[in-house]
Structure 1
């Protein structure tokens, strides 16, 4: 049990695991509770993860739709711009908490909570911190990525060229709305300026967003927690499949993997689902599609795989899939422009390839037909990961250190 045990209000769009962002927020809450702190999860969208109640974690969930799940586009647009109900409920929550040992930690706002959370957080006067899982604070579509051209976007966010560019995954009107929302969040809510401290989840991520952060903020590097068991080195590392785990969408590089696998003469295996699933099945009938699987089954497939292929075309934050695969002793083939490359030592724990280049990825897959190379990379992946594993306990210890630093500065300034 930690001697320092603050009350932590964790703000997140969803109260259940819908992706890496929610997964980290919820598991952080569970870890904080186990260390003796008092986490309170404040979320907009239901359902609520059952583990939270089992661990005695207080949850304030508004039971709202997220923006994509709202049957009314007009209601979604209003909620996404200014979620008045969230602002009111968060204000009521913060008002009843002790002022001397409470901190507000925001993990996400763009999918349901909206910039409205800035008002009650600012009014509370409580210390606060923001974890940069993605880039919605600085980029209208959250990724510095052109979803129409399927390439990284070099434009200055909210510049004239940015406003004029149809880069949204859905359509140009949604891009305009998102640009207006970011302008509102920046100039009216002043959401980014609200935080004195930011948590960055990879060094590469810091390179991407460093110039957009408000002046004078403190940046803390804390890895996401990974739930894994040390199973030792693989006894037969060169068996198994080339697997892809994640959302089947263009920016994740699923089409690229399919094309490269065909060139290399290997069978791609897809674990996950998404908007391009049917098109992938039509294009690549020889591929295997396993859909979404429970976490334990995903880890079993990772353990059995010859390699995990992570061909993402956008920056990412810190892909948990890459780390989970290496914990299983599985080499990772990773794009050289996404943050996942930071976890992979080229030719030591996996292979890098040139982002968006099917021939380069095919070359990496072909190299991995060499059993001796796979065995060497597998041993390297396992050993490097378990030398300093990013466990939940370590994550919580480090985040508690950040909380304590913030509160100490606040007491000194009083």
Structure 2
């Protein structure tokens, strides 16, 4: 079949783009024709090497602009990208082609909605975040530093500033959300792929009642290195962007209360504050992927204190694959991969004392070694490999092309494509 992957970026700048690039390479290796359509380049050079067509609109994204006012036209309605996507999709044979959308909120905008609705080709969405339901994409209130309980688009939502920067920016988000809904972007996919159970529960009340769902886990880039052995466990490590929704200040405070050192691998807007308020913490900055794996493999535990839902945090799964237990917030989807008290620990989200207690528990070397062995064994007993991910995608694609939802079957991580019998209960915070 011919698969067109639609994304904001054609290079790896985070977990979403990594899934796009790796699935493109994997699908091409299985003999499918693959095209990557994206706004922002440069394209990962491996795509061209694999014979994958790349269509770039040559634009920027919201994270690179210095002025949202100047970027606003593209952010609200990216007409050039819509026109180019329409031209590309018009060349496809709908009997053997699928359009798979991974991202649109950083650069492509809601303008792709009408294109997708009228292209005549089956459309699949992977929900890496929550933009189809929530104006800021995360059901997260940056001002309160907690999950947001307001109904998206309600008067309570519109009247409250949940944005990380300003209320004016929040209102722009609300306007774009309204535009997205009016132009039918949420109705464009024939199948919606979710990557965690929590994510599906959170988003289900806000999408069309007849939407069909599948669960396809993201692939994890890891090799079975074996158990760590009997050596002394290392540090408590945070890996990722040091920003409010990830809970880095919570980790630093909990480590201080526990009398332990917090180690941070990454950078972000709260790095300087941590350095100033918690001089005992170690901030290592960004590292290349190989160095990150080495640090995670040597760690006593990965600390993942995220205070928003997340989608399917790849760092949590990569840590488990390396035999490193995970201490994870009970509000985020990362908890689904961690067996509490066996391969890691859950702690009450936003509570530094609860996190400190978990740190103290894993400060015991015997406990850390036992959880390390369990983390490794449980992950590799049923690993989220690239092949498993591709099996799931092919099951979803083939089900749509055959116009027979049951044909998606139970292939790997793909659930049967079917509309839910009733609305699932939303998470408690919603």
TM-score, normalised with respect to structure 2: 0.92
Deviation at 1:68, TM superposition (A): 2.5
**Distance (Å, rounded) in 2 between the aligned partners of 1:262 and 1:55:** 49
Inter-partner Cα distance in structure 2 for 1:93 and 1:353: 48
Mark the CA change 1:411 to 1:205 in structure 2 (over 3 Å): closer, same or farther.
closer
Q: Any idea what SS the aligned residue of 1:347 has?
A: coil
What is the SS of the residue equivalent to 2:58? strand
| Residue 257 (structure 2) aligns with | 263
What do the CA deviations read for 1:120-147 (whole angstroms, capped 9, x no partner)? Answer: 2222111001000000111010010100
- Asked if structure 1 preserves the Cα contact closer than 8 Å seen for 2:127 and 2:193, the reply is yes
- Quick one: distance in 2 between partners of 1:221 and 1:100? 24
- Aligned match of 2:401: 407
Task: Provide runs of 4+ in structure 1 moved above 6 Å.
Answer: none
Q: Which SS does the other structure have where 1:334 is aligned?
A: strand
Which residues of 2 match residues 28-47 of structure 1 at below 5 A?
Answer: 28-47=23-42
Q: Aligned equivalents of 1:192 and 1:338: distance in 2? A: 24
- Tell me whether 1:206 sits opposite 2:195 in the alignment: no
Secondary structure of the residue aligned to 1:186 is helix
Local SS of the residue matching 2:403: helix
Indicate the SS of the match to 2:303: strand
* Pairing 1:142–2:137 present: yes
Query: Over aligned residues, Cα RMSD in angstroms?
Result: 1.3
State the partner residue of 2:8. Answer: 13
Please tell me whether residue 156 in structure 1 is matched to residue 139 in structure 2. no
Matched, 1:247 2:241: yes
8 Å contact 1:264–1:365 — kept in the other structure? yes
Q: Distance in 2 between matches of 1:261 and 1:237?
A: 23
Alignment counterpart, residue 168 of structure 1, candidates 151, 160, 163: 163
Equivalent residue number for residue 311 of structure 1: 305
Distance in 2, matches of 1:236 and 1:16, equals 39
| 1:224 is aligned to 2:218 | yes
Q: Is the 8 A contact 1:256 1:356 kept in 2?
A: yes
Query: Any idea what SS the aligned residue of 1:302 has?
Result: helix
Instruction: Map residues 274-293 of structure 1 onto 2, 5 A cutoff.
Output: 274-293=268-287
**Residue 202 (structure 2) pairs with residue 197 (structure 1):** no
CA deviation vs aligned residue, 1:68-89 (integer Å, no higher than 9, x gap): 3134433311101110110011
The answer to whether the 8 A contact 1:237-1:330 is kept is no
Structure 2 unaligned runs (5+)?
A: 407-430
The equivalent residue for 1:333 is 327
8 Å contact kept, 1:222–1:398: yes
Q: 2:22 aligns with which of 22, 27, 37?
A: 27
SS of structure 1 residue aligned to 2:143: coil
Give 1:214 shift: 0.7
| TM superposition score normalised by structure 1 | 0.96
CA distance in 1, matches of 2:67, 2:350: 36
Contact 1:67 1:79 in 2 (8 A): no
